[in-house]
């Protein structure tokens, strides 16, 4: 079916037929998974609208912004600081993808046993179905896990505007110094791209916008501690996923409205699930749109997800950048101080993550943890065993799940999750 956005998508070089198929599948999945939920907060209507226009109106906004000289920067990791992009009035979008696409083509360039997140990111490019990738003036890949690091060599060959950011693997003084050097190099690249020299005032403004959006989402996530839980885990995850696409100021305002509604629901004791429903904290790999498989399976058993210890979740938004520095250097140091705290499993050692899982488990009054890994994700799979051991020592029930983006294992997952939910039932 033709849409009013076809000319824009065609101009971006999308394969219109493949793209229409993708949107068709996504549209029905969204309807089945999200719109069928009961007693959803009113504030979710905004997110439904954003999702219905995620490849339409939002891309039109990006194109309009580009037409007046603003730059669009895409990235594949929460280590890429929005602050520099916002400082030059640019737009930062996340490019990670959560669905299999063009897998045959991808597997001619990457080994089959590469994690689904990396394969999907490349598949969306090779299949010509992602308007975000095509709208970007600059695409940033970061040296995190080996899969991304080596995969990005291939991305670099096929994306002329690809930029690699190096990252430390150890949180030492030398590691921090490397991060600062890389952020300075990135700032210069953003300046070069935009033709704007960043001043302290401009960077402070970028910091404030990014802090506000993180603070709004943290407020929303905190409201999920209430019992009965005022929002489903699926809707909670969706609010966290939209973080990566939406205009940051509009997003913060909409999330604050939703959070206020959830706080109000909590006061009234109104929730989306029974107060006795098993409460689950998810921890592990990020879930990019439209990776809703596991949360959907979990909540279809009657359990509720109360939080995500993930980069699409608390790990990605925890901690503010201090905006009170006077000089540009003070502010850059403050940015480094925030980002170096991200407890991604690519760091060694990565003990903070365990502490955060325990903290979230207690704060959100969870009954158990589901540790979620994408198959072939070495850093999180390796860490999962230690996380499980340590949590179990403290009497915290854990279920470890390794999966990918296919739907083949849905029934098997359901059986395992049901058994876990029974085990932790109140």
The answer to the question of residue 118 lying near ligand BJ8 (CB under 6 A) is yes
Residue 288 Cβ vs ligand BJ8, minimum distance, rounded to whole Å? 9
The answer to the question of residue 144 lying near ligand BJ8 (CB under 6 A) is yes
The answer to the question of residue 148 lying near ligand BJ8 (CB under 6 A) is yes
Task: Kindly tell me which residue out of 75, 78, 232, 256 binds ligand BJ8, with binding defined by CB under 6 A.
Answer: 78
The answer to the question of residue 336 lying near ligand BJ8 (CB under 6 A) is no
The span of 61-69, 110-118, 128-136, 236-244 binding ligand BJ8 (CB under 6 A) equals: 110-118
Quick count: other Cβ atoms within 10 Å of Cβ 425? 13
The answer to the question of residue 344 lying near ligand BJ8 (CB under 6 A) is yes
The answer to the question of residue 140 lying near ligand BJ8 (CB under 6 A) is no
Query: Taking a C-beta distance cutoff of 8 angstroms, is the pair 366, 224 a contact?
Result: no
The span of 140-148, 170-178, 331-339, 356-364 binding ligand BJ8 (CB under 6 A) equals: 140-148
- End-to-end Cα spacing for the chain: 49
DSSP string, 162-201: EEEE---SS-SHHHHHHHHHHHHHHHHHHHHHHT----HH
- Return the number of the residue (77 or 332) whose C-beta is nearest ligand BJ8: 77
The answer to the question of residue 79 lying near ligand BJ8 (CB under 6 A) is yes
- Return the number of the residue (367 or 383) whose C-beta is nearest ligand BJ8: 383
Exposed e or buried b per residue across 2-12, where buried means at least 16 C-beta atoms within 10 angstroms of its C-beta: eeebeebbeeb
Q: Cite the beta strand spans of 168-313 per DSSP E.
A: 279-284, 304-309
The answer to the question of residue 374 lying near ligand BJ8 (CB under 6 A) is yes
Torsion of CA 48, 368, 291, 288, to 10 degrees: 80
Exposed e or buried b per residue across 226-257, where buried means at least 16 C-beta atoms within 10 angstroms of its C-beta: bbbbbbbbbbbbbbbbbbbbbbbeebbebbbb
The answer to the question of residue 287 lying near ligand BJ8 (CB under 6 A) is no
- Return the number of the residue (339 or 420) whose C-beta is nearest ligand BJ8: 339
The answer to the question of residue 106 lying near ligand BJ8 (CB under 6 A) is no
The answer to the question of residue 238 lying near ligand BJ8 (CB under 6 A) is no
The span of 143-151, 187-195, 265-273, 298-306 binding ligand BJ8 (CB under 6 A) equals: 143-151
Residue 312 Cβ vs ligand BJ8, minimum distance, rounded to whole Å? 8
Task: Kindly tell me which residue out of 50, 280, 357, 377 binds ligand BJ8, with binding defined by CB under 6 A.
Answer: 377
- Return the number of the residue (344 or 384) whose C-beta is nearest ligand BJ8: 344
For the chain, give the longest Cα–Cα distance: 59
State whether residue 357 is helix, strand or coil. helix
CA angle 307, 310, 314 (to 5 degrees): 60
Query: Taking a C-beta distance cutoff of 8 angstroms, is the pair 265, 230 a contact?
Result: yes
The answer to the question of residue 244 lying near ligand BJ8 (CB under 6 A) is no
The answer to the question of residue 115 lying near ligand BJ8 (CB under 6 A) is yes
- Please give the C-alpha separations between residue 86 and each of 68, 198, 342, in angstroms, as whole numbers: 16, 10, 20
Distance of alpha carbon 147 from alpha carbon 181, whole angstroms: 23
Query: Taking a C-beta distance cutoff of 8 angstroms, is the pair 133, 68 a contact?
Result: no
Task: Kindly tell me which residue out of 140, 159, 277, 285 binds ligand BJ8, with binding defined by CB under 6 A.
Answer: 285
Query: Among candidates 203, 144, 192, which has minimal Cα distance to 169?
Result: 144
Residue 115 Cβ vs ligand BJ8, minimum distance, rounded to whole Å? 3
H-type alpha helices, 68-172: 82-87, 103-106, 116-126, 131-135, 146-158
The answer to the question of residue 342 lying near ligand BJ8 (CB under 6 A) is yes
Task: Kindly tell me which residue out of 145, 178, 187, 396 binds ligand BJ8, with binding defined by CB under 6 A.
Answer: 145
Quick count: other Cβ atoms within 10 Å of Cβ 408? 9
Residue 145 Cβ vs ligand BJ8, minimum distance, rounded to whole Å? 3
Task: Kindly tell me which residue out of 186, 244, 251, 380 binds ligand BJ8, with binding defined by CB under 6 A.
Answer: 380
The answer to the question of residue 77 lying near ligand BJ8 (CB under 6 A) is yes
DSSP-derived letter for residue 32 is I
- Return the number of the residue (14 or 336) whose C-beta is nearest ligand BJ8: 336
The Cβ-side half-sphere exposure at 400, using a 13 Å CA radius, reads: 13
Taking phi over 0 as left and psi of -120 to 50 as alpha, with beta for the rest, 365 belongs to left
Binding mask 169-198 for ligand BJ8 (x = CB under 6 A): ------------------------------
- Where on the chain is the footprint of ligand BJ8 (CB under 6 A)? 77-79, 115, 117-118, 144-145, 147-148, 285-286, 311, 342, 344, 346, 374, 377, 379-380
């Amino acid at each position: 079916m033709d849409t009013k956005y076809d000319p824009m998508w065609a101009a971006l070089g999308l394969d219109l037929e493949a793209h229409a198929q993708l949107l068709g599948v996504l549209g029905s999945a969204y309807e089945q998974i999200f719109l069928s939920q009961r007693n959803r907060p009113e504030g979710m209507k905004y997110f439904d609208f954003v999702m219905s226009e995620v490849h339409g109106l939002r891309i039109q906004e990006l194109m309009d912004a580009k037409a007046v000289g603003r730059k669009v920067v895409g990235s594949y990791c929460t280590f890429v600081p929005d602050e520099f992009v916002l400082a030059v009035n640019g737009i930062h979008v996340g490019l990670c993808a959560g669905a299999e696409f063009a897998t045959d083509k991808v597997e001619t360039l990457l080994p089959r046993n590469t994690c689904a997140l990396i394969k999907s990111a490349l598949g969306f490019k090779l299949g010509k179905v992602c308007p975000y990738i095509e709208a970007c003036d600059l695409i940033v890949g970061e040296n995190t896990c080996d899969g991304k690091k080596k995969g990005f060599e291939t991305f670099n060959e096929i994306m002329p505007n690809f930029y690699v950011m190096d990252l430390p693997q150890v949180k030492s003084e030398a590691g921090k110094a490397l991060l600062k050097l890389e952020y300075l190099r990135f700032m210069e690249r953003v300046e070069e791209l935009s033709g704007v020299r960043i001043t302290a005032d401009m960077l402070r403004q970028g910091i404030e916008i990014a802090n506000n959006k993180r603070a709004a989402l943290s407020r929303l996530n905190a409201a999920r501690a209430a019992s009965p839980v005022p929002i489903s885990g699926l809707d909670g995850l969706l609010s966290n996923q939209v973080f990566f696409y939406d205009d940051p100021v509009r997003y913060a305002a909409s999330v604050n409205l939703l959070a206020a509604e959830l706080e109000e629901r909590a006061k009234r004791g109104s929730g989306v699930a029974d107060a006795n429903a098993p409460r689950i904290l998810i921890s592990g790999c990020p879930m990019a749109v439209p990776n809703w498989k596991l949360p959907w399976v979990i909540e279809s058993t009657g359990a509720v997800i109360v939080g995500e210890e993930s980069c699409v979740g608390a790990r990605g938004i925890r901690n503010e950048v201090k905006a009170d520095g006077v000089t540009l250097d003070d502010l850059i140091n403050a940015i480094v101080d925030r980002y170096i705290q991200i407890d991604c499993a690519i760091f060694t050692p990565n003990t903070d993550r365990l502490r955060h899982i325990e903290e979230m488990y207690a704060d959100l009054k969870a009954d158990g943890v589901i540790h979620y890994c994408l198959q072939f994700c070495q850093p999180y799979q390796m860490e999962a065993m230690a996380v499980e051991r340590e949590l179990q020592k403290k009497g915290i029930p854990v279920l470890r799940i390794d999966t990918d983006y296919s739907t083949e294992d849905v029934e098997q997952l359901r059986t395992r999750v049901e058994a876990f939910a029974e085990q932790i039932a109140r």
